[in-house]
A and B are shown apart, each in its own frame.
Chain A
Amino acid sequence: MQKSALSVYEIRQDFPILKRKVGNNKALVYLDNAATTQKPFSVINAIHDYYSNYNANIHRAVHQLGEEATFAYEQTREKVAKFINASSTEEIIFTRNATEAINLVSYSWGRNNVKDGQSIVITEMEHHSNIVPWQILSREKNAKLCYIGVDDRGYLRMDEYKSFLDTSNVGLISLSEMSNVLGTILPLNEIINLAHRDGVPVLVDAAQSVPHMPVDVQKTDCDFLAFSAHKMLGPTGVGILYVKRKILEEMPPFIGGGDMIKEVHKQNTVYNDLPYRFEGGTPNIAGVIGFGAALDYLNSIGMDRVRDHEIDITKYAMTALADIKDVTLYGPLDANDRGGVISFNIADIHPHDLATIMNESGVAIRSGHHCAQVLMERLDVPATSRASFYIYNTKEEVDIFIDALHNARRIFKV
């Protein structure tokens, strides 16, 4: 069946911020979507509606507002489970962000399962949020933290991965499905199959993949999956952790407090059922409800179409960038192997200077190490510039971005 392309110009009408002027009174060209995305009216209105009409704490109150708030909060959990095809809502835990989701696994599962002398295997392209928790855990458990390398084209060294599995006692594999710098999409099915053959669980940092492509946790058979609402039209302060049920049942709580208990006595506590056992304290109720509206929005477009749009615009931008003198592109050159994230450098213009100059044309790009200093060392650069796309970005915006690059070359006389 022929899929129709998504209607970018209609979509743009749903995002109030896209009408803003920035820099030298220029229309905003927002290309920092890998950091966070903009929010449609429906998400903003859902939050407004909760606070205006049914603000109450959840899971406890018997009054009407409490019931309505609980219903809306739990409805989002159902939407999340469907969105990533989890087998039940009990496998979906709300956290503050993807970072907290990974830390939850590290502190709860990791402390009880990773053993002295084992290896935790990650990759050279991880975000700091998928490095630092494992450094902390490996110090505590006297485990070894091993990095699968990245080849010069930006692909994962599968040979190194296989050799880690063959030669060391691996306790956990944790990797990002899509690099937030290179855009590289990992061959997750193959990676997880190989790991499971050796009985090794796999955590997928899906902060960059779930917002941009279809993800199916039962198909890939990953054991843990972490992502953030704010990178997919939702509010900040909401992260999601998926854990396979049979693993989750054995995991001790991470944060103790209200809402995660059934009974509390002076010396002991009976913990609540899944998944509430892992959600201590009042959560970000408004944020979770807003995230439900974000999922509705993405579902109305369809994640296949989101992915197709990003391949299309990434191809267009990469072709234009490759034509500019002294541009270095990082990551796979084939847009089908990468997400809509393009990291680059141009001549001797430092990314921060480039971002300052581009801002005047209204173009918001990211500059710096992108919380991936291990990868920066591997690429042997202090920083890169990064343009990242989403459903509301147009080819006309790419043209403005390219013009702004030429302006930077003029100012820097290169």
Chain B
Amino acid sequence: MSDDIYREIILDHYRNPRNKGRLPNPDVSIHDSNPLCGDEIDMHIRVEEDKIKDIKFEGRGCAISQASASMLTEMVLNKPLKHVKDLVKEDILENIGLTNLGPARIKCALLSLKVLKMSMVKYYADRDPESASKYQNEPGAF
């Protein structure tokens, strides 16, 4: 089963992460961590015309969390914010090809999505506090 988890593509994104680093003038930057594992992710996002114009992440942690973050940035770059809002955990797990992770490791895979969603909430809250609530995640989304 480990051979199924740690496929070539996961190891490739872990060792050669895409969109890793900072952005000069991000519209929003958010940090979060997984207290059990110590996995950490920072997302930096620039928005133009309601699209994700640029996205970078920083982080450290296990191969699953870091590869998942790298793949997520590729998935949402140049996509409308509405698309990000509609993303659910199944989208992420399918995107990284890990649909049968146990409860301990699924949090690693979903940390980057959590940070991305937090970024969206902050982005809207900074601009229009009242409308931000509609971007809140449904309870239990993670």
Contact = CB atoms under 8 A, between A and B. Distances in A.
Interface of A: 24, 348-353, 356-357, 360, 367-369, 373, 376, 382-383, 407-408, 411-413
Given A356-B105, A369-B38, 8 more contacts: A348-B15, A350-B61, A352-B62, A373-B38, A383-B37, A411-B2, A411-B6, A412-B6
B38 A360 contact: no
A295 to B, nearest CB: 32
B36 interface: yes
Interface string B38-73: 111000000000000000000011111000000000
Contacts of B141: none
A368 B2 CA distance: 19
- Chain B CB count within 10 A is highest, among A349, A351, A352, for A352
Interface string B104-119: 0100100000000000
11 contacts: A24-B1, A349-B63, A350-B62, A352-B39, A352-B108, A357-B2, A367-B37, A368-B37, A368-B38, A382-B60, A408-B2
A376 B37 CA distance: 13
Interface of B: 1-3, 5-6, 11, 15, 36-40, 60-64, 105, 108
A350 B2 contact: no
Contacts of A350: 61-63
Given A382-B61, A412-B11, A352 B37 contact: yes
Nearest to B36: A368
Nearest to B101: A356
Contacts of A348: 15
B12 to A, nearest CB: 11
Contacts, number: 47
A357 B37 contact: no
Given A357-B6, A383-B38, A412-B11, A352 B105 contact: yes
B3 A411 contact: yes
B46 to A, nearest CB: 28
Nearest to A357: B2
A286 to B, nearest CB: 29
Given A382-B60, A382-B61, A412-B11, A356 B36 contact: no
Contacts of A369: 38
Contacts of A360: 1-2
Contacts of B1: 24, 360
Contacts of A368: 36-38
A146 B5 CA distance: 44
Nearest to A351: B62
A376 B40 CA distance: 15
B87 to A, nearest CB: 24
Contacts of A356: 2, 5, 105
A1 to B, nearest CB: 47
Contacts of A383: 37-38
A36 to B, nearest CB: 16
A413 B11 contact: yes
Nearest to A408: B2
Contact of B6 (A353, A373, A376, A382): A353
Nearest to A407: B2
Nearest to A350: B62
Contacts of A411: 2-3, 6
A128 B64 CA distance: 27
A413 B105 CA distance: 21
Nearest to B40: A382
B61 A352 contact: yes
A353 B3 contact: no
A24 B11 CA distance: 23
B38 A382 contact: yes
The 9 A-B pairs with the shortest beta carbon distances in the complex, nearest first, are A352-B62, A350-B62, A357-B2, A353-B63, A353-B62, A411-B6, A369-B38, A382-B60, A383-B38
Contacts of A412: 6, 11, 63
Nearest to B2: A357
Nearest to A23: B1
A277 B27 CA distance: 58
Taking each of B15, B39, B62, B108, which has the highest tally of chain A beta carbons within 10 Å of its own beta carbon? B62
Contacts of A351: 62
A32 to B, nearest CB: 13
Contacts of A367: 37
